[in-house]
Amino acid sequence: RAERRYLNRNPKAKLYAGLGDFSIFRLEPERASLNGGFGKAYLLDRADLIAGGPIVEELAASEQSALDHMNADHRDALCIYARHFGRAEGDGWIATGFDADGMDLASPDATCRVFFPRPLGTAGELRSVLVEMAKAGRAAGRAQ
């Protein structure tokens, strides 16, 4: 799963994935420090950094199918997500990953993280959230 997600996000790396010196490794963060500016330093623990629960495995099982579907049939919606919610520019956006908090998008020249209005509780909620966001983005575009 890690290799699939990495190659979705970095498609040019497919040229090197089969070579002997290419490998994927997994980080297991325990804690981190966040410096948000003067007087705004925080210690974060693992729960602050890593999504957990059944949604992780559930979404992982259906992620590639959802990516393939969105990239084949809903490229217009992906541009709406990138432009309206991600404040990104350009065309040619594709989805490279979904998780409980949002989606990763890529164009030929940029990447973009778009957060969902609320975290997903189940993988079954992905479609309805994407439809809701596409409708909101289209409505906002018409209002301008």
Outline where 1-144 has alpha helix (H).
2-9, 46-49, 54-73, 75-80, 125-143
pLDDT at residue 34 tops 70 = yes
Q: What is the mean pLDDT of residues 59-83?
A: 96
Tokens of 121: 């509780």
Q: Identify the band that residue 21 occupies on the pLDDT scale cut at 50, 70 and 90.
A: confident
Supply the pTM of this predicted model. Answer: 0.82
CA atoms of 137 and 143, how far apart (whole Å): 10
83-107 pLDDT, tens digit each = 999 999 999 999 999 999 999 999 9
Q: What is the mean pLDDT of residues 122-132?
A: 96
Contact 94, 76 (CB under 8 A): no
b/e for 99-129, b at 16 or more Cβ within 10 A?
Answer: bbebbbbbbeeeebebebeeebeebebbeeb
C-alpha pair distances (Å), 42 with each of 34, 47, 52, 122 = 5, 14, 21, 30
pLDDT at 144: 61
| Domains of the chain, start order | 1-50 (no CATH), 52-144 (3.20.180.10)
- Name the least confident of 4-18, 58-72, 75-89, 93-107: 4-18
pLDDT at residue 10 tops 90 = no
CA atoms of 23 and 18, how far apart (whole Å): 9
Using the 8-state DSSP alphabet, how is residue 20 labeled? T
SS3 at position 127: helix
Long-range contacts of 49-52 (CB under 8 A, 24+ apart): 51/99, 51/100, 51/101, 51/119
